[in-house]
Structure 1
Amino acid sequence: MSREDYPRPDLVRKQWQNLNGKWAFAFDDARQGLSLGWQRGEGDMNQTINVPFAYQAKLSGIGDRTPHDHVWYRRHFTVDHGEDERVLLHFGAVDYAASVFVNGQMVIQHESGETPFQVDVTAYLTGGQNLLAVLADDPHADETIPRGKQTWEERPRSIWYTNTTGIWQTVWLEVVPATYLTGVRFTPQYDQGAVTIDAALNQLPEQAAIEYRITFKGELVAEGRVTATARHMQWGVDLLQNHIFRSNFHWAGWSWTPEHPNLFEVALTVGKDSVASYFGMRKLSTAHGMVYLNNRPYYQKLVLDQGYWPDGGLTAPTDEAFKKDIMLAKAMGFNGCRKHQKVEDPRFLYWADHLGYLVWGECASAPVFNHDAVRRSMHEWDEIIARDYNHPSIAVWTPLNESWGVPNIQFDRQQQHFAQALYHEIHSLDQTRLVSGNDGWSQVETDLCTIHDYGHGEDDEPEAQAAFRQRLATPDNLLAAMPSDKRIFADGFSWQGQPMLLTECGGVSFEPGDAGGWGYTVVSSPQAYLKALERIVSAIYASPVLWGFCYTQLTDVEQEMNGLLTFDRAPKVAAAEIKKILDAYHPESVVSPAK
């Protein structure tokens, strides 16, 4: 099994070559591979690995959970290209730092375990077979590296899961003409019925022009030609130029929502380069203590999604697995997810865009706070937004979670400055989405007041259940609560009327059979499971101030058994029964007019 799907779905070219599959592989604990000439094809790399699965995953063909700080990959490839064409080498993600060699020469180094990088390798190629080698460094003792939920030990435990080292997303080649598009961004101007297009070229030849063609469900909406006066171009396109689309510019006409995931198809051409892309027309905003989608109140019913698979670890076994997760969540009544401590594969976002599924984007946190951790996090967010800007499904960015990596943010002004800097950096790069500054508690600047609360009681704890309902009853009660003994806002900051959401709750564990593991609340039967879920959700829906929730969690993950689904995606109870509970309130919020 290997991943054969197109890895960059928002900028598609026909001419590409997948390099996933069998590679030579070796651990390099003594870090001697360079001196042994492994980058030049010398020496014996004594294992084989199935890329893009990390060596810790069963699907890699190795399945060794022992931490190794340095690992090597090597394979040969051939590529056909014309005299005036360029060959680009792409990596979806390599955890954590990568040094890439082509025919023995280093062509690029990249640091960041969750974001893509590319390099023009044309000058390093030979006419026949070429050698590609990769050294991945993932020093487990370095706590400034953003790890998220990855354990630093040999075995997962508690809320920490199997670690990931090396290549874990697709490796691929792309042949492009001498002048080509290096990137494109679509910014919907929802209220104006227009879109702003930003396009970047690798170079600016004389008389260069960019042609665009925008269609909606096969019907032409707009087309034109823009003369390129700089390598980075920006222009606006009026999408309401014909009567049909002007008269249908409303909630379900051609806006993007989870219920109506309408998308515009785009073809862009510059010289001999042609790419295909898409975008959705949607707007996110807040007012009157509510979240608005396309100028209408929208209640978010999210599920926490860790993005792990039993045999693939952080790497989905197939593209279909992404689609299946979203379809299962929607069948249970959720309209989105909070991707937790992980920058997910772009293929997941492709399916969220096309199936209609809100996504809260998050990245892995570093365990500690210092200069290196700050530098790495800021760099990572720059690359995250550059990669994912075009996906209409992404509604919220979550740069920090529960003060991970900023343990003293409640009172430490330096750590507060860092959280504020992330908030402002993200907004400076992306004005189309909301930002949850430090999800859970000890918040500084934020667009949303997000609270984590698992203290909703068990079947035999009526007082705890009543206290949970009482905490959710008013803004003052929510702000006075101390989840995990933490204040909702950090010292010097206060609630400014932002929409309030319960972004972690639930965690009910029902283990079919003798599966072991743990959960926040444990029940013993499917009936008790549904009863607990209904009790939690009804308490949330009884709150007149909450404008959404995120239930923990979509699936079991290794020893954490509080999923709605088992780790291999088997439902623990019928999806229709869960949907009945989730549909008990707020279905009208999707279509009700703003007040």
Structure 2
Amino acid sequence: MENTITYQRTEYPRPQFQRDSWINLNGTWKFAFDDQNIGESDRWHQNLTEAMDIQVPFTYETKASGIRDENFHPYVWYQRSFEIPVDQIGKKVMLRFQASDYLTKVWVNDEYIGSHAGGSAAFSFDISNAVTTNAKNKLVVKVEDSNSCYQPRGKQRWVEENFGCWYVQTTGIWQTVWLEFLENRSIEHVKMTPNIDTNSVAFDYSLAGNMDEQLRVETTIHFKGEKVKQFAFTPNRSSMHFEVDLLAEIHEWKVMHWTPEHPNLYDVTFGLYENDRLLDEVHSYFGMRKVSIKDGKVLLNNQPIYQKFLLDQGYWLDTMLTPPSDEAMIEDIEKTLEMGFNGVRKHQKLEDERFLYWCDRKGLLVWSEMAATYEYSDQAVENFTKEWLDIIQQHYNHPSIITWVPFNESWGVPHIATNKKEQAFTESIYYLTKSIDSERPVIVNDGWEHTISDIICLHDYEEFGERFSERYQDKDAIVNNEIAHNNDKYPFANGYEYKGQPIIISEYGGIAFDEGSGWGYGNQVETEEQFLSRYQSITNAIKEIPYISGYCYTQITDVQQEINGLLKEDRTPKIALEKIKKIND
């Protein structure tokens, strides 16, 4: 048992859709393992006996949980109590989970509420009919996990020990749990789509409850405290669409664009009124930016952008996949920028929304990548598709996200090079993504054999710059599958061909210091001088290839047995940050 608790997550978990009426349920819960899966038959939801304490939202595998047991336990139980504040009595009570891995079942006051499958997407339950307002309420949660390769698991191992680049599993609640209080009629969601070419932003409103002529939705947009626009409408149905011209005289440029150098954000408040009574108020923001592709280049706001990215797996020493604090997330973002990178590829992880919020605020670009399955089956297709759809919708409004990456290195589609079913699956995810979000590029099978994809991404851990230069000298030979990268991989699956897409080296480097244990790519280095020489050689080789539009270095930090980070797990730099920046500039 590890009893020293040093981390708390008390921040509002969803800063892009923020209300004032909420209660954070993180903190100390009762917790029990149920390896024999007897908890439901023995009615543990009525009384969780022989329980230990756990600190939510940190999983039992982590030091921050107060338990730290890295063995796999497929069934775990949680229990805590809560009260309904006097000023919230009579409102709808929503129980919200930002993420819980994998199958989550919920009871309130011994009443079964429901379940949710998926390890990365947020989900909610309406528990209004189960709560009492004159006593404490009992909340019990069971989470079922497995070693199945049909469920999206990202970098979580599915065997007893870590291996390769797969790490200790994450089981149970791993992001914030919270209550939110709503009137029967409320604002459920607003999708915001900027258009810099028309100086406008589109709002797609989803409203909950019965609509009538007494209702009014009011939207107010500010920039740095000054009102830009305000408009209102009477909703005649639960879904409404409006486009708003943002041109204003409050600043010289009329419309302020979001860029990495100037991450301008417009604040927006949505109010739902019944006559003059405020039923619901939500605070949000958006960034005016455009991502497009033209002439083999990625454009940001209609200008080519060279992407200098870091692979970021989002692991921390004491908390693993759960960010320990806002300060820890900010530190990673600021050190990334200090090293001269302009973005991160969030690898095999859907990151905490507060991380994305800080990327929005600080101007760090993000590729958002889905956690992979590792075998192909009908069940894997269903599991993946349902959760991916939720994720696109939940993270759509973040201006920092400029690319979606549903597949990586043929994980979950191991025979994509020749198998038409697996190829069709990737195409279906591409078009599904585009049906929700036509604005962002979608990368299908980052690194290996692409099917239909807006960007062609190649992984290559070549150690020597001159070999990099030689290998990629002939673009036609690369895109026509005549020259292999990553030893024996080719850019396209059978039946697909190059159509002029941008080309990015989206994994390279992985240089590890020789520290006696762990691994990196290629030979390890022993000194800073050796590291910088190799880093500069391969990075410059990539930058000098004219048709390549960017790169992503592996990686920002060490992760467990993988020691190829520019920072150690505790975020101590291995190399002076300014020396990395000098090479990236």
What TM-score do you get using the length of structure 2 for normalisation? 0.95
> What amino acid maps onto 2:203 in structure 1?
I
Which residue in the other structure is 2:4 paired with? none
Cα contact 1:211–1:226 (8 A) shared by 2: yes
Counterpart residue type for residue 548 of structure 2: L
Greater alpha carbon shift after TM alignment, 4-13 vs 203-212 = 203-212
Amino acid at match of 1:361: S
Which residue does the alignment assign to 1:78? 83
- Work out whether 1:138 is the aligned partner of 2:141: no
Amino acid of the structure 2 residue aligned with 1:390: N
Residue deviations 1:448-470 (CA, integer Å, cap 9, x gap): 0111111233xxxxxxx422112
Q: How many residues align?
A: 567
User: Which residue pairs with 1:376 in the alignment?
Assistant: 383
- Corresponding residue of 1:335: 342
Q: Residues 473 and 545 of structure 1 are in contact (CA less than 8 Å); yes or no, is this contact kept in structure 2?
A: no
Displacement of 1:83 in angstroms is 4.9
Q: Distance in 2 between matches of 1:582 and 1:478?
A: 25
User: What is the rounded CA distance, in whole Å, between the counterparts of 2:220 and 2:581 in structure 1?
Assistant: 40
Contact 1:65 1:155 in 2 (8 A): no
Deviations 1:179-222 (A, max 9, x none): 11111111001200000011111113322111010011111110
2:202 paired with 1:196: yes
Aligned-partner SS, 1:184: strand
Given the alignment, which residue of 309, 318, 323 partners 1:311?
Answer: 318
1:282/1:294 contact within 8 Å kept: yes
Cα deviation, 1:469-527, whole Å, max 9, x if unaligned, reads 1223342243333124122100000110000100000101124xx45111103110011
Pairwise mapping of residues 482-521 of structure 1 onto structure 2 (< 5 A)?
Answer: 482=484, 483-511=486-514, 514=515, 516-521=517-522
Instruction: Describe the SS at the equivalent of 1:301.
Output: strand
8 Å CA contact 2:200, 2:244 repeated in 1: yes
| Partner in structure 2 of residue 320 of structure 1 | 327
Any conservation in 1 of the 2:228–2:250 contact (CA below 8 Å)? no
**Do the aligned partners of 2:208 and 2:238 also contact (CA within 8 Å) in 1?**
yes
The structural deviation recorded for 1:346 is 0.3
Distance 2:48 2:296 in 1: 63
Contact 1:65 1:154 survives alignment (8 Å): no
Q: Which residue number in structure 2 is paired with residue 265 of structure 1?
A: 267
Q: Is the 8 A contact 1:509 1:520 kept in 2?
A: yes
Question: Is 2:367 aligned against 1:360?
Answer: yes
Aligned equivalent of 1:68: 73
Distance 2:81 2:159 in 1: 34
Q: Please tell me whether the aligned partners of residues 195 and 239 of structure 1 are also in contact (alpha carbons under 8 angstroms).
A: yes
Shift of 1:46: 2.2
Aligned pair partner of 2:52 in 47, 50, 58: 47
Whether 1:421 and 2:423 are equivalent positions in the alignment is no
- Letter matched to residue 12 of structure 2: Y
Structure-2 change in CA distance of 1:310 and 1:294 (3 Å): same
| Pairing 1:351-500 to 2, within 5 Å after superposition | 351-457=358-464, 465-479=465-479, 480-482=482-484, 483-500=486-503
Secondary structure at the residue paired with 2:197? helix
The letter for the 1-side match of 2:118 is: S
Deviation string 1:257-285 (CA, Å, 9 cap, x unpaired) is: 11110000001100221110000000000
Shift of 1:32: 0.8
SS of residue in 1 equivalent to 2:539: helix
Asked if the contact 1:470/1:477 (under 8 Å) is kept, the reply is: no
Whole-Å separation in 2 of the counterparts to 1:552 and 1:365:
18
Q: Which residue of 2 aligns with 1:14?
A: 20
Secondary structure at the counterpart of residue 325 of structure 1? helix
Post-superposition offset of 1:122: 1.1
Within 2, Cα distance between the matches of 1:502 and 1:376?
29
Distance 1:366 1:289 in 2: 31
Query: Which residue matches 1:461?
Result: none
Shift in Å, 1:155: 2.7
Which one-letter code corresponds to 1:153 in the other structure? V
- What is the SS of the residue equivalent to 1:359? strand
Partner residue in 1 for 2:276? none
Q: Summarize deviations over 1:522-559 as a string: whole Å, max 9, x none.
A: 11001111111111111011101100110000000011
Deviation at residue 154 of structure 1 after TM alignment: 3.1
Q: Which residue of 2 aligns with 1:578?
A: 580
Is residue 472–residue 546 contact of structure 1 (8 Å, CA) maintained in 2? no
In the alignment, structure 1 segments of 5+ residues that lack a partner are 458-464, 584-595
Q: Could you say what secondary structure the match of 1:38 adopts?
A: coil
Q: Which amino acid aligns with 2:158?
A: W
**Quick check: 1:276 aligned with 2:276?**
no
In structure 1, distance between residues paired with 2:409 and 2:221:
42
Q: Deviations over 1:296-350 (max 9, x none)?
A: 0000000000111110010011111111100000000000000001111101100
Percent identity, aligned pairs only, is: 44
**Amino acid in the other structure paired with 2:530:** A
Match of 1:151 among 142, 154, 157: 157
Q: CA deviation at 1:43?
A: 4.6
- Identify the residue that residue 34 of structure 2 maps to in structure 1: 28
Aligned to 1:234: 241
- 2:378 corresponds to which letter in structure 1? H
Q: Partner letter of residue 445 of structure 2?
A: N
2:463/2:534 contact within 8 Å kept: no
Secondary structure, aligned partner of 1:122: coil
